[in-house]
Every structure is written in structure tokens, then in C-alpha cells.
Chains A and B, each alone.
Chain A
Amino acid sequence: MQVALKIWRYDAVAGKRALREYEIDAPEEATLLDCLDIVKDQVDGSLAYRKSCRMMICGSCGMRMDGAAVLACKTRMYEIARAGHVPVISAMGNLPIVKDLVVDMEPFWGKIRAVQPWLEPGYSDPGEKEHVVSQERMDVIHKESLCIMCGCCVSECNSMESDPDFLGPAALAKGMRFVGDPRDRATVDRLQSYSGEHGIWDCTRCYFCNERCPKGVDPRDAIAKLGAEAMKEGIDSDMGAKHAKWFVTSAKTTGWLRETELVPKTQGIAKSLKEVTFAMGLLKHGKVPPPVPPHVAKHVDEARALYDLVQVQGRDGAAGITQSEKALGRLEHAHGGGDAAQRGPYGSGAFAKPFLPGEEPAP
């Protein structure tokens, strides 16, 4: 089949970017990675990209197609070529470009290292026998263990685009893999460390990470598990944790969110007093509903009783999320409308803008 590709080239020596189009003949089963190999072999040997295993396990070939991060070796080209679509291939976002499709993964690895991705065993020598971990306990970190650290989630992370220091979806999912491991004895230290300024509560819940992950890790869900475990351990002084707690308080007292009290409950009285001018602006337009009398849901006693019930049923913390994974894991990434081959490029800026060496990351 004939395959046409547009590739964003970057020459680090000259500091120049250029969008080049290539047309090649490829077998029908070819993946994007196969097509890049053909371009490199037959058309332009200077094209740079990373690859290794060619079978979705090494995590080397993360890149963007039409603005969306993919593993090149997992992306079949047949339907795209048949539709006559010419996809735009570019380097991943949120990481500096070294050359063409190769990004500098050092900021990525730095964050992985920051979560201390190794077991801190606190147990005594098991002697003759092995430590046995139950299937139920392994289920808590099953998805997180699937990560191949390709960076597709980080590429599109909206929070990291706005806060380059955000630990991000890959590192936090890795952190959950150890927090949830029953052999690890550093859980509380980990949760305190991950609850810092650029940690768990920096996630904006854009769900790009879940959407892009080629291995089904669902990093956003891992971050929610970390939040649940942190709060279970009483590590809840961050404003993000206080914000989350107020929703629980609201649900079990009035049923509906006690919206006007949310700001002081999240930020504290002193900080929220600085927001008086802003709040007055909203008040004029009815955006600050009076907290008294409270807006109480009918039969709210049921919501209160449910809260008390679930407290003693042992599904607290991450287990409350893991219990749904069996059913949710059967759902395929899919959508009712459109065809992947019909997707057009959104152009630059559609996702986190890749930044070039020497450029500052987005503010």
C-alpha cells in the first residue's frame, strides 16, 4: 500500500524545524514504526526516532500522530492509508526535543526517580518460605504494574503543561504501584511526599492520560487511589485534600454541595478573606448562593446512613476504586462516532506544545 506521512523534523544543530512529507510503499500490515523504518532505509537516513522491541513492551517509540500520543509500533496504518489521510507525526509533548521525533526523557526519569520506584521492604527474613501476597492485594496494583514508561500520558498532561514540576501521571502511577504493595513499609512516607505541592492534588483530572495510555494503566485512577490512601492515613492538609473532604461533608449533611462554604473550607479563612473583592463580583450575579438556609436534599438521612455503613465494610482507601476495576476493565477504548482515519490534525497547540532545547517550558 502507498502510505504518505508528514513528519515534523527538527535539526538541533541548525535549530530549525520543518514539516516534510514522505511517500512510501509499505506492506498492508505495516505499523507507523514500520513506515518510519522504510522512510529511514529508503528515503532519508537522517530521520531520528527511538525504537527497540517493536512489540509494545519496551516503551521506546512514543510519539504523536495528528497531535495525539501513540506508540508507533501499536499503530496500524492500513485504514489511514486507505482513507487517503496524511497524518502528521511529531515528537511527544511536555518534553524537550533532541532531534526529529526523539525527546529528552531525562525530566521524565527524574520524576520517576523522585517517587522512589523501588520496594522498601520492612519485613523480616522469611526463612525457608516465600512471602505470599494474596491475589486481592495484587489486584490493587495490577494496572499500575502494566506501565512501560513510554511517556504517552506525560505528553498530553494538561497540568504538567501549566506546571512543569508536576510529578505527573507516569511517576504517580509508579508511586501507587509501591504504595499498594503490601510488602512495602514506606507507605506513609511515600504518601506524604506525593502529597506535596507538585503531587497528587496538582492533577486537573483532564483524563488525557487514561485516554492515551497504550497499556491500560489509567494513571488518573492511580492518582485517585493515592488520594484515597493519603486521606485514609490522615494526610489531608493540602488544599486539594480539604476540597475533596468538603464534598464528603456536604453529601452526608445536606446531600448537595455546600458551595459557598467550599472556598473557606479549602483555602482557610485567612486566604479566603483575600478573595472578598472577587467574591463580591460574583455575589452580584447570584454566583454566591447564601449558605443559610441550607439546600437540603430530600431523604438526606439515607445518604448519612450510607456513609456510616460503608465506613465499617473494609472498602476504604484504594480498595474502593479497585473494586470497580473488574467491570470497568472489560470496556474497550472506543467511541460511537467517527473513524480514526478521519481524524485531522489540529495543528500546533492542540495539545501541550512540545518545547525545543533552550526554550523554557510553558509557564
Chain B
Amino acid sequence: MRTVAYYKGCLASLSAKELDTSTQALAPKVGLELIELEAVTCCGAGDIHEAEPDYYLHLNARILAYAEETGADTLMTICNVCTLNLRQANHALQGDDALLARVNENLVSVGAPPYSGGVEVLHFLWLISAGEGYELLQGAAHKGLKGLKIAPFYGCQILRPSKLLGFEDPDKPQSLERIIAACGGEAVDYPAKIKCCGFPIIQAREDVALAELIQPIEQAKEAGADAMVTPCPLCHLSLDAWQSKLYKQTGKDFQMPILHLSPLVGVAAGLDSSELKFKRHVVSVEPVTEKLSV
């Protein structure tokens, strides 16, 4: 078992609880022991980075410090936006002793542990799509996806900027495809899988966001996908919940089931419905579960 500090972020604590339960249930099957961080806050989701960037840096340093305090060398995330925000702060602190010293002085003065720079932030996707995690996944996904056609949707902030993320080619990622194949599904390819879902501006600029959102869903549908999968709960929320708005705006009723990464693997690994919580999806996942007779 590899022990990792686990940062679930805001959505998996609130509107996307199904992502947390399925990740916790799946982790031991892929060789991960999760130490959940409790004394941590929101990473700022890019919004605090823009509104109060110095506060953003301190909040993320504090999360990294609590992760380091567990003794683990890895902080595991399950959200693209958390991943980028934490990795950006981590690189900034690891590469600048003076900056780290100032932030640490502030952390200690409010009673938080200092951070020495010894943690690497890795998304769950990366842990199970390569190396030992991938080998264990291949064994765990014994129930299989029975040839289900899945459209991988990466979302932006797990690919770009690649100098901060750096796990795979940002223009031709393959990690989700590898996982889908290992679970016995068939990955369908479509151009917009690396584009934006519009979520960051879906409240402030809904029309612009919807014009972005429709592209991956429409292309996945045309490519024959039974469902889409995404490693980001924010992408999940816009792809899943805002389909009704696309219908209202364009008359196109996609009814495209959207899966988080953990439940997709979880189905193949035989997790039960109390862990998968498919009823928490806005667009019904029934066409998928019927095909798989879950």
C-alpha cells in the first residue's frame, strides 16, 4: 500500500459527494491508503488566485503543510482545479527560499505547521494510469465495462499549462484512454476532449460558457459514446447539470451520462451502489448501468 495525503476539495465535500465515496472505496483496490486532510480549506479554485493572490498562496501553502505533516510524500487530488492551484503554489514555494520563508513565518504565527517543500501534488488519474497503480487497476477492474463506448473528457487544468502539470502531452493525452481500455471499455476519440467545458465562467458569462460546453458533448455523441468520463468535478457539474440548459437553448436533448473517473473505474471494480451513488447525477446514468447490468 502506498500512503498518500488525500485532499478532496470543495465539490467532493458538497455537491459531488459521490466522487468522494467512490474514490475512498476504490483507493485500497488500487494500492492506495488515503489519509484524509481535515484542517484544510478551499484551494481558491483560481478565483482567490485572481482576487487575492497572496492569500491564495498562503491557503495552498497551508494545505501542503498539513499534507506534509501526515508524513506522506504525495498529496492526492481528485479535481483538476485543485491540482493546478496546488501545483502552482508548490512550485513557487519550492523554487524560492525567501518566499517560502515569508509564507512559513505567517503559517507558524497563526498556529499552522510550516512547509518544507517535501510534498508532490498528484491527481488520482495520474496515480492509476501509470506504474504500479495502473497494474493494480488492471487487476481490480475485473467486472469490466463490456465494450461500453466512453468519451474521455480531460478538462483544461490537468493538461495546461504543461510546465506546471507535465504528466502527459497536453495535445494528445492518453491516460484516460489507457484506463478505459484497462476497464474493458472502448475509448472514442473526438477533437474537443482537450478543450474547455466553460465552467469557470458559467455563472458570470453563461452564454459564452454554453457555447464551449456544447462542443465536447455534441462531438462525443456524434462519435457514438454511451457516456463521457472526466477527472474533474467542475467539468462534471457543467457537463451533467447544464445539459438541460443546452436543451433549452438549442433544442438538442443529448441525454449524455457523465461519469466521474472514480465511479467509472468503480463500476468495473465492482463497487456497490451506495458507493457509486449514481442517483446523484442529473442526467440519468441508467442507460449505462442497464448495459452493464449493475
A-to-B contact residues, CB < 8 Å: 66-68, 158-159, 161-163, 166, 201-208, 210-211, 218, 220, 224, 227-228, 231, 238-248, 250-251, 255-257, 259, 262-263, 266-267, 278, 281-282, 285-289, 295, 297-303, 305-307, 309-310, 313, 315-321, 323-324, 326-328, 330-338, 342-344, 346-351, 362-363
- Do the beta carbons of B281 and A327 come within 8 Å of each other? no
**Docked pose: A289 CA to B18 CA in angstroms:** 13
- Do the beta carbons of A206 and B196 come within 8 Å of each other? yes
Nearest chain A CB to B154's CB is how many angstroms away?
11
Asked if B50 lies at the interface with its beta carbon under 8 angstroms from chain A, I say yes
- Which residues from B are CB-within-8-Å of A206? 156, 160, 195-196
- Do the beta carbons of B171 and A67 come within 8 Å of each other? yes
**Docked pose: A316 CA to B57 CA in angstroms:** 12
- Do the beta carbons of A328 and B167 come within 8 Å of each other? no
**Docked pose: A343 CA to B58 CA in angstroms:** 38
Point out the residue from B62, B166, B200, B281 that lies within 8 Å of A334, measured CB to CB. B166
**Docked pose: A128 CA to B280 CA in angstroms:** 71
**Docked pose: A116 CA to B176 CA in angstroms:** 44
**Docked pose: A286 CA to B157 CA in angstroms:** 25
- Do the beta carbons of B211 and A302 come within 8 Å of each other? no
Nearest chain A CB to B22's CB is how many angstroms away?
14
**Docked pose: A266 CA to B47 CA in angstroms:** 12
- Do the beta carbons of B42 and A251 come within 8 Å of each other? yes
- Do the beta carbons of A333 and B48 come within 8 Å of each other? no
B-to-A contact residues, CB < 8 Å: 10-11, 13-15, 17, 38-42, 44-59, 62, 88-89, 91-96, 99, 102, 106-107, 109-112, 156-157, 159-172, 174, 191-192, 194-196, 198, 200-201, 203-205, 207-209, 211-212, 215, 219, 237, 241, 244-245, 279-282
- Do the beta carbons of B41 and A256 come within 8 Å of each other? yes
- Do the beta carbons of B51 and A281 come within 8 Å of each other? no
- Which residues from A are CB-within-8-Å of B44? 247, 251
Nearest chain B CB to A155's CB is how many angstroms away?
13
- Do the beta carbons of A231 and B163 come within 8 Å of each other? no
- Which residues from B are CB-within-8-Å of A323? 54, 57, 92, 99
Nearest chain A CB to B242's CB is how many angstroms away?
9
Nearest chain A CB to B194's CB is how many angstroms away?
8
- Max chain A C-beta neighbours (<10 A), residue from B39, B51, B89, B244: B51
- Max chain A C-beta neighbours (<10 A), residue from B54, B169, B212: B54
Q: Given A244-B50, A287-B15, A337-B174, A162 and B200 touching (CB < 8 A)? A: no
**Docked pose: A320 CA to B59 CA in angstroms:** 13
